[in-house]
Structures are given as C-alpha cells and as structure tokens.
Amino acid sequence: MISVPARRVKQFGVEFYQAGLNAKDIDRLVKFEVLGYTGGPEAENGKGKKTKASRARVNWDSLEKRISESENAYQRPVIRKKIDELAAYYRECKDAATLPAIPGAVIITSEKRFTFTPVAGHHDLGLLQIPEEHGVLRVLDGQHRLLALHALSQNGEATGIEVPAVLFDSLDARQIVELFVTINAKHTRLNPSHIISLSGRKLYPDPNQALAHDVIRSLNEDDTSPLHGEIKMLGTGRGRVSQAPLAEEIVDFLETVEKVGGGAKIQEVRQNAKRFFLNYIKALSTTFPSAWAGRKYSIKTGAALRAFIRTAPDVMARARELRRDSYDLNGIREAIKPWGERLRDRRFETEGEWKLKLAGGTRGTVDALTRELRDALR
C-alpha cells in the first residue's frame, strides 16, 4: 500500500477522493490502455507515422511499451501530436517556473477498493491507502497529460511534479464508461463513432447498436470485404467513411425488421447480419465494377452507402421473390441485377449525375438515391 493525504467527497451517494500523485506513483500504479482492434488498419494518430519533432521530444519506442490495446478499454487511440506538444509545454513550464504544468485534476479509477483513514476531528480529511500494484489504476480523463508526464519521467525530467487527481474506487464498468462518455461528449466533443463503439457493448445493453458495430467492424477488417480499411473506426484512421452514420442506418434497418417482421424475423436477421452485409457489399462491387474501382466515382461515400443500407430490406425481399437465399452472395447479386442495367456505373460519376443530385444537399442525395434504387428493383 502507498499512503497519500486525501479529501473524501460525497455527491448523491457516490464517494470519491481528491489527492495528489507524484510522477513516480503514476509510473508505478497507472495502466495506460486504449480501445483498439487487432487486424484493423493503424490509426493515423496512434502507432502510425512518426514525425521528426515527436522523435526529438518523446521516445516513442519506449512510451508505446506502456500503452496496451484492448476491446475492453474505453480510451480513444493516442494522438501523438498532442503528447508531443504537452511534453514541450511541460519543459517550458519547468524552465520558466512561472506556471504549473498540470493545474487541473486528472480523473482516475480503480477496480480495487482504497482504505481511507480520517484524521482526528475531520471525517473528510485523512490518509488514502492505494494498493501498490502495477496497473491497479486506469485513467478516465487526462491520459494524454499523464503519458506526456511519463515521457518526461523516462528522461528524469519530472522530478518533484505532483499531479492533482480525483480517484474513484466504487464505480462498476458501466458507470465508468457512462462517466467517460458524459465528460468527453459534452466537453471535448468525443467523436460520434467512438460513442457508437462503446454504447452497444457497455454504456447500455442495446443489441441493435452492438450488432451494428460488429457489422461495420467486419466490413472494415475482413480481408475479403470491398470496404476493407475504408471505414474510420472510432472516428480515426485512414478510411474515408465515418462509422457513426453507417451504424445509425443499420440500427434503423434492424428496428424496421423487428417492427415489421416480429421476434422470429429479427432473430434470424441478427444471426445472419454480418454475412448479409458482407455479401451485399461484395455484390455491389461487382454490379458497379467501374464505379467501385475508379477514383472519379462517389459510390464509396457515406451518402451512397447509407442509401444502399436503407434499401437492404427491399433487396432481401426481392431475393425471396426470386426464390433465392436473401443472405447468399449469388442471391443478393441476382436481386440487385436491375441496378446494373438501369442505373449503371455512370450514376455514381462524381462530376456527372452524382454532382447534379448533390445540389440538393447530403440528405437529399441519400433520399434521392434510395428512391432510385427502390424504383429500379420493381
């Protein structure tokens, strides 16, 4: 156990603590962890390209050994530029000695309970005992600040720095993620795609949100997917299509199936959703081969993909009319065959018909294309 002076705070039945942790405590106790997916494209701001400036200020090879990736984490991928700038700012504060480097409190959680011993005459002031175990603490807010501090600690430049901290030891996993989303969505504009990734699994038990996330992840990571690496998971990466709008459309699709088809139908669709959408995208790539492979087309934009998702129930219904398996690649390809004959690749030429439709705005483009796709199936 390590003991630090602390103040006990109680708000609406929840107890937490205010204390100061020095750089040495942070290095010993804090585990740095980000939400990541093995097999997916590297995030631009994560473990990607290193700049000359970052090499000069931060030893990334050493720092990255302290950062782990996990599907059970909630922090977004690390932004190298932010850590590099913070490290430079900390050095400026140290040299000038006129401003504190970290004046605001970081928020930290623990899966293990602390022991608080009040001092005589003060029920809210005392000593806080924290288990002296590596990784016992997680950063809820302030991870970049503490990573920059760790970078300085590696060079012996963080001696004497004490970081104000708010510590929670009584929150369960659901409460931690809810607090994380509340802090970031309201104050630092957490990317909607990141919230989508967290919500279905942790923030609230929404099976449609969770399945939408799994479908999009499969489309982005499956080596056979025509959208492999094209989707910005967590709002970052090299992809060109945002995750959140696609997830919203898939959730709407699932809710429509549940409302119209009932419990048995939605269970069937949920079991086959990843297979259907993967085969659907494959069928689109062969139905519009020039548009899919060409650079002067807009078929792989968010607007076009949203329209295709909205038309998914119609595609499934058409496959059944043709007595084909609505989840099978050949069945889907047969169902959407009229699109290739009636709309053809030129419908998606960026400087052609697509540009004319775009004059009505993004929403108008999605709605207009959805109507065209539905009409062409009839």
Report the C-alpha gap between 151 and 161 in whole angstroms.
13
pLDDT tens for residues 151-202? 888 777 776 788 999 999 988 877 777 777 777 655 555 555 555 555 555 5
Query: 98 with 243, same domain?
Result: no
| Mean of per-residue pLDDT scores for the chain | 82
Place of tokens 């501090």: 149
For residue 123, pLDDT over 50 is answered with: yes
Contacts of 105 (CB under 8 A, 6+ apart): 18, 142, 164, 165, 166
pLDDT band for position 247 (cuts 50, 70, 90): confident
Q: How many CA atoms lie within 13 A of 88 on its CB side?
A: 11
Report the C-alpha gap between 39 and 319 in whole angstroms.
33
Query: 166 with 308, same domain?
Result: no
88 lies in a domain?
yes
Please give the average per-residue pLDDT across 92-96, as a whole number.
79
Q: Which region holds residue 18: left if phi is over 0, alpha if psi is between -120 and 50, else beta?
A: beta
Q: Provide the pLDDT for residue 48.
A: 44
Tally Cβ neighbours within 10 Å of residue 331. Answer: 21
62 lies in a domain?
yes
Q: Provide the pLDDT for residue 35.
A: 63
Total of domains in the chain: 2
Domain boundary among 159, 187, 215: 187
Query: 41 with 92, same domain?
Result: yes
195 lies in a domain?
no
Angle in degrees, CA 157, 149, 117, rounded to 5: 105
Q: Provide the pLDDT for residue 18.
A: 95
For residue 141 the two structure tokens come to 């807010």
Q: How far is CA 147 from the centre of its chain?
A: 20
pLDDT tens for residues 279-313? 999 999 999 999 999 989 999 998 999 999 999 99
Angle in degrees, CA 248, 251, 257, rounded to 5: 145
200 lies in a domain?
no
CB 215 within 8 A of CB 269: no
198 lies in a domain?
no
DSSP 65: G
Pairing of strands 67-70, 106-110: unpaired
Query: 146 with 242, same domain?
Result: no
Cα torsion for 33, 34, 38, 43, to the nearest 10°?
-140
Query: 350 with 290, same domain?
Result: yes
Query: 282 with 372, same domain?
Result: yes
Query: 133 with 214, same domain?
Result: no
Query: 41 with 181, same domain?
Result: yes
For residue 18 the two structure tokens come to 């205010």
Estimate the crossing angle of helix 243-287 against helix 312-321, to 10 degrees.
Answer: 40
Q: Which residue has the higher pLDDT, 59 or 264?
A: 264
Q: Which domain holds residue 31?
A: 2-187
What is the H or E stretch that residue 163 is in? Answer: strand 162-168
192 lies in a domain?
no
The pTM for the full model equals 0.56
Please give the average per-residue pLDDT across 103-123, as a whole number.
90
